Structure 1
Amino acid sequence: MGEIPATQQALLALAGDTGGRAVLNTNALDAGIARALEDESRYYLLAWRPEVDANRGGKFRRIEVSVAGRPDLTVRLHRGYYSPPTQRAAKADKTHAAATPQAELGAAVAAAYPRTELPALLTAHYVAPADAGATLTASVGVSSESLTFRAGDGGRAAAAELACFLIDDRGKQLQSYFARLDVSARAGEGAVPRRDVTQDFQFKDLRPGLYQLRAAARDAESGRIGGASRWIEIPDLSKGQLVLGSIVVAESAGDDPLASALAPIKLSAGGPLARGSRLHFSTHVYNAARAGGGGLPPSVTMRAIVMSGGRELIDAGEREVQTDGLEDFARLPYAGEISLAELPPGHYLLRITATDRVAGKSATQLTKFSIR
C-alpha cells in the first residue's frame, strides 16, 4: 500500500488549493459528507477582491489568510487566482484581444473554471530519463464532430486552435504553446468522419514536483471554446522507491493481436475509443531492485485490470516484464493490449500494478478511458 499516498498528492493539492476537503482511503462516503456538512454549519464567510492595480497585472496571485490569535481555527480558501490586467492595459488591448484567437485561448486557459462550449480533450504522460529532467507530453485536441465545417472547393474544411500551459505548484506559468490544426472532409462524404484532432506539446527538463496542465481548444469557424485541466506529479526517482510511471492509452484496431501490433497506433487525447477495438497501453517501471545482489536483472510482473463502478470486469493476468536487451534496468518499459470487444459503450478505469518480486514491493497507476 506504500504507493497510494504518492498517487493521492494531486487530490490533496486540488482540494487544498480550492478550499475543499479531500476524503481518502475509505468507502464510507457518508462520514466524509458528514464532516463537510459540519464545516458548512459553522463558519464565517470572508470576501475580498483586488481593487487596485497593484493586485492586478494579469499574473497569478497567491492568497494567504490567517486569524490572528486563533491557531485552532481552520481557513479554507482558493490559494490563488489569475488577476485581470490593469485598467490601462485592458483598455489598450481591448480591441485587439477580442479579435485575436490566441488571446481568447489564453483567457480561457487562465479562467477559474474551464469553458464548456466545446468538448476539449487533454491527456498527459511523463518519461524520466537517467541523464536529464523529466519530459512531460501533453496531448490536446477536440473531436472532429465538434468542429464547424465550411464548404469549399473539393470538400469541406474546419480548423481547431489549441493552447496548452504548464503551471507549477506555486502557480507560476512555466511555458505555453499555441497551435492550429486544419481538418478536411472530401466532397461527397455524408457525416464528417469522427476522429480526434490532436497536437502533442512537450515540456522538457522538469524537476520532481506537482504540475498543472491547462488547455483550451477553439473552433476557428464559430469561435466556440472549451477548456480542460489536470494535475500530474513527477516523482523524485533519486529516493530509490519503486515507481510506476504514467500510463499512455492508445487505440489499436482489429481483433488479431499480431495484426494489431503491426498496425499504426492511434494515440488518444482523452476521446472515446471505438467499440470492438483493442486497448493498447504502455508505461515505465522505475527503480526496480536488481536480483542476485545487484548482479542480475530485476524481476517485475505487471497486472492490468479494467474496472467500472468499483467492479473488476477484465483481468489481463500477471505478465513478466521482459528485460532482454535492456541496458538501463532502472527504467523498464512495458506495453500490453486488452480486447474491448466484450465491453459496451461507457466510462472505464484501467488499473495497472507493478510488483517487484525481488524487493517485495508494488506500485499502482490508474487512468480513465471511455468507449463510444
Structure 2
Amino acid sequence: MFRAGVDLIQLDVSVLDGKRQPVTGLNASDFTVFENGVQRPVRAFTSIQLRPNAGTAVAATVPLDVVTNQVGQQEGRLVVILMDRSIPSGQPTLIARKVAVAAVGALGPYDLAALVSTSGAVPQNLTADRTRLINAINERRDWSTGHSKELKDVMTIPDDALSDGRCLCGLCVLETLTRIADAVQNTPRRRKVLLFIGSSVIFQAGPRAPSADVGCDWRVSEARRRLFDSLALSNLTVHSIDPSGLASLGPQTRAGALGGKQGEDGPVRRLQKMQTEISELLSDQGSLHVLPDLTGGRAVSNTNAPEAKVPEIFGESDTYYVVGFERGMSDQRDDKRSIEVKVARPGVRVYAQRQYTVPAVEKSVVPRGADAPMSLEKALRGLLPNASRPLTLSVGAFAGSDTASAIVMVNVDVGAFANAREMAMPLEFAVSAVNQKTGRQIAFARETATIRFKPGTSNRRAEANVQTHVELTPGDYEVRVAVSDPATGIAASVFCPVTVPLFGNAPLSLSDVIVETTDRMPSLPASATQVPTTTTRRVFEQDEGVRALVQVYQGTQRTDVIVPVSVRTTILDAKGRAIRDQLLALTAKDFTNRRAALALDIGALPSGDYVLTVDASLARQKTSRVLHFAVE
C-alpha cells in the first residue's frame, strides 16, 4: 500500500485465456475491483511484459554485485522452488533436480528465485544468480524422508507419515508453505510463483486409533486454515509437480513380490497390495491438486519428463497487470476485507489477491531504544528483507592476513535514514553470516554508531556508506544486515550472497570488486586532497572519479614461485561494443605476500550502461569478475 492523497491497494493480476496463455493488451477500463462486494475506483494501472526480446541489453544478463531490499517494488517474478520431503528416493530425486534446474533456466533477467525445503532449510535465498541456484540444487543432499516401494514391501511396521517425528502430522510442509506465503506478501509489482516439487501433501489427518492419536486431525486442520488465509493475502500461485513419473502399481511389478510362502495365498496378497497402492496414488495425486486449484496454478503428474512443462508454467506469467484501487473508509482496523477482480473479456480467468488486511494506525514515535533489539533480530529473519527504509548492500571477499580465513567486506548505504533536521545521528546495526549449505548462522555482531550523512543532490538522495567486515572460511554464505533508528524503533534489513574462494590453496584467484568514488569539485584548489569513498552506488555522474578495486592472488598459503599473470580488463557498452580494452602483465614484482592490487579507472564515460570484465589467466588457470554500472 502507498499513500498519494488516498490509500491505494496495489494488486498483481494475472489474466489467462482458455489455453492458459496470458491475455495482453488490456487497459485500466477493462478491470473492475470489488471490496467486500462493493465496486471501488481503479486509480493506478500498469501493464508488465516480462518476456525478454532480442534487444535485451548486455548488462541485463550480468548478476548485480549490489543488492537492495526494495525487491517488492521491482517488476519480475519471485520464484520459490520447494523441494518437498515427499519426493521418493532414487530416480524421482534426480527428476526433481531436473525440474528445479529447468525452473532456473526459465528465469527472466529481472526474476529472483530461492530454493527451499520443507525441513525449514533455505539452501539458497532469493537471488538472480543462476550459478548459485544450480549449485544449491545439485548439492549432495537427500530431499526425501520417505521410503521406496521396495522397502515398504518388507517393512514389518507400517509406514505412517503422520507419526514421523521429523514432521509430526505432516505439519512441517503446511508450515513451510505458510511461511513462504507470508514472506511474499506486500510485493505487489512482482508475480509470485511457488513450484512445489513432491508427490503428496497432507491436508487431512482423518480418524486414528487411540494409541496413535497425537491430535493430528486438529493440528492439520488449524495449519491448513492458516495456510489458506495466508495464500488469500499473498496471491502466491502454486504449481505442484510430481517427480514420481508414470506409476507401476502392485508388488508384482517389482522384484521380490509378496506371497509364495507356505500357508499364504500370494495372488490374493498381491491383489490387496495393488488395490492399496491404487488408493494411495489417487489420494496423493488428489492432494497435489488442492493448492493449484485454489491459487490458479497447475498440477503436473503421470509423466516421466515433468521438467518439459516448466517453460509453459513460466509462460503464464510473461504478462501481468498491477492494479491500484482506492480502498473504502472504515473506523475498524486490522480487519480483513475481500477482493474480487473482474475483467471485461469473455472466457478469461482472473487470478489476484483475494483478501487484504486494513493496517493498524502506526505510532509515529517510539521512546528511544524501545523494542530496538527485537526489531533488529526480526528484521534479520525471513525469506525477504524488511523494506521499511531503502538500503543497498555490497559484499566482497578478500584474502585475509590469517591464511585460514578471508575478510568479507560489508558496505551498506543507510542514507534513507537521514532526516532534514540532523545530518548526524546514532543508528544500531546487526550483521550475520549464514552458511548456505547448513543454514546455520556462522557469525553475528551488533553495534551502535553515530553516522554522518552526505547531503543529497538533485540526482540522488543522501548517502552514508557504513563499512564493517566478518571473517569467514571458504564456502557459500548469505550476509544479512539490519539497521535500526533507536529514536523511532524503525528497522530495515538487506541480504546479499557471497562466495569465499580458496584463496589459500588456489593457484590463481580474484577478490570481489569494490568501487570507490571521488567527487570532482572545481571550486576546490588543485592542491586539495580528495579522499575516495567506498560506495554501493552503481550509477555515477560524469563529474565523479570512479575506480574499481580488485586483488589478484597466487595461493596465499602456497610456497611455489610467483609466475606472471595476464589480466585483461574490458568495458562493454549496452550493445556489447568494447569501449576500453587493456591487457596487463603482472610479474613477481607486482605481488606482495602473494597478492597484487589493481585500481581500474572506470570514470569519464558517456552516459549509458556498462559492464566491466576482469579476466585473469595463469597457464590453464582462469578466473574472472564482472561489474555492472551506469553513467548519467
TM-score, normalised with respect to structure 2: 0.39
Q: Using the TM superposition, give the Cα deviation of residue 333 of structure 1 relative to its aligned residue in structure 2, in angstroms.
A: 2.1
| Alignment partner of 1:366 is 2:626 | yes
Output the amino acid matched with 1:120. L
Q: Using the TM superposition, give the Cα deviation of residue 221 of structure 1 relative to its aligned residue in structure 2, in angstroms.
A: 5.3
Match of 2:535 in 1: 268
Match of 1:172 in 2: 440
Write the deviation string for residues 228-248 of structure 1: whole angstroms up to 9, x where unpaired.
211111122454342122111
Q: Using the TM superposition, give the Cα deviation of residue 353 of structure 1 relative to its aligned residue in structure 2, in angstroms.
A: 1.0
Match of 2:564 in 1: 299
Q: Using the TM superposition, give the Cα deviation of residue 194 of structure 1 relative to its aligned residue in structure 2, in angstroms.
A: 4.5
Distance 1:349 1:201 in 2: 27
Could you list the structure 1 runs, at least 4 aligned residues long, displaced by more than 6 angstroms after superposition: 15-18, 46-49, 189-193, 259-262
Contact 1:246 1:283 in 2 (8 A): yes
* Cα 1:67/1:254, change in 2 over 3 Å: same
Match of 1:55 in 2: none
Matched residue SS, 2:579: strand
| Alignment partner of 1:68 is 2:147 | yes
| Alignment partner of 1:321 is 2:586 | yes
Contact 2:454 2:463 in 1 (8 A): no
* Cα 1:70/1:162, change in 2 over 3 Å: farther
Contact 2:385 2:492 in 1 (8 A): yes
Matched residue SS, 1:118: coil
Matched residue SS, 1:105: helix
Write the deviation string for residues 232-273 of structure 1: whole angstroms up to 9, x where unpaired.
1112245434212211111133499xx899631110134643
Contact 1:149 1:158 in 2 (8 A): no
Matched residue SS, 2:479: strand
Write the deviation string for residues 53-108 of structure 1: whole angstroms up to 9, x where unpaired.
xxxxxxxxx9954442179xxxxx989x89xxxxxxxxxxxx99x93223212211
Contact 1:161 1:218 in 2 (8 A): yes
After the TM superposition, which residues 56-135 of structure 1 pair with which residues of structure 2 at under 5 Å, given as runs? 65-69=144-148, 99-129=370-400, 131-132=402-403, 133-135=405-407
Contact 2:515 2:534 in 1 (8 A): yes
Contact 2:410 2:467 in 1 (8 A): yes
The counterpart of 2:452, out of the listed 183, 186, 205, is 183
Output the amino acid matched with 1:173. Q
The counterpart of 1:236, out of the listed 484, 502, 517, is 502
Matched residue SS, 1:364: strand
Distance 2:119 2:615 in 1: 46
Match of 1:354 in 2: 616
The counterpart of 1:141, out of the listed 410, 413, 417, is 413
Distance 1:370 1:226 in 2: 26
Contact 1:351 1:364 in 2 (8 A): yes
Distance 2:417 2:402 in 1: 42
* Cα 1:47/1:243, change in 2 over 3 Å: closer
Higher RCO structure, 1 or 2 (CA under 8 Å, sep 6+) = 2
Distance 2:604 2:624 in 1: 22
Contact 2:398 2:407 in 1 (8 A): yes
Higher share in helix: 2
Matched residue SS, 1:99: coil
Write the deviation string for residues 206-238 of structure 1: whole angstroms up to 9, x where unpaired.
221111101123355555443221111112245
Q: Using the TM superposition, give the Cα deviation of residue 47 of structure 1 relative to its aligned residue in structure 2, in angstroms.
A: 7.7
Distance 2:591 2:552 in 1: 13
Q: Using the TM superposition, give the Cα deviation of residue 182 of structure 1 relative to its aligned residue in structure 2, in angstroms.
A: 3.3
Which runs of 5 or more structure 2 residues have no equivalent in the other structure? Answer: 1-61, 66-78, 84-98, 109-116, 121-140, 151-172, 181-365
Output the amino acid matched with 2:476. L
Distance 1:194 1:175 in 2: 32
124-133 vs 102-111, greater mean Cα deviation: 124-133
Matched residue SS, 1:103: helix
Write the deviation string for residues 307-347 of structure 1: whole angstroms up to 9, x where unpaired.
4657245324212336436443x322222212243124x6x
Q: Using the TM superposition, give the Cα deviation of residue 274 of structure 1 relative to its aligned residue in structure 2, in angstroms.
A: 3.3
After the TM superposition, which residues 27-46 of structure 1 pair with which residues of structure 2 at under 5 Å, given as runs? 32=106
Write the deviation string for residues 167-192 of structure 1: whole angstroms up to 9, x where unpaired.
12312112223333333689xx9989
Contact 1:128 1:134 in 2 (8 A): yes
Contact 1:160 1:197 in 2 (8 A): no
Contact 2:605 2:631 in 1 (8 A): no
Match of 1:4 in 2: none
Matched residue SS, 2:373: helix
* Cα 1:307/1:192, change in 2 over 3 Å: closer
Distance 2:616 2:528 in 1: 22
Distance 1:106 1:116 in 2: 14
* Cα 1:253/1:191, change in 2 over 3 Å: closer
Contact 2:418 2:453 in 1 (8 A): no
The counterpart of 1:311, out of the listed 576, 580, 588, is 576
Higher Rg:
2
Output the amino acid matched with 1:331. R
| Alignment partner of 1:210 is 2:482 | no
Output the amino acid matched with 2:397. Y
Write the deviation string for residues 255-306 of structure 1: whole angstroms up to 9, x where unpaired.
99xx899631110134643343232112122227xxxxx66x4222322233
Contact 2:424 2:452 in 1 (8 A): yes
Contact 1:196 1:269 in 2 (8 A): no
Distance 1:176 1:318 in 2: 41
* Cα 1:162/1:182, change in 2 over 3 Å: same
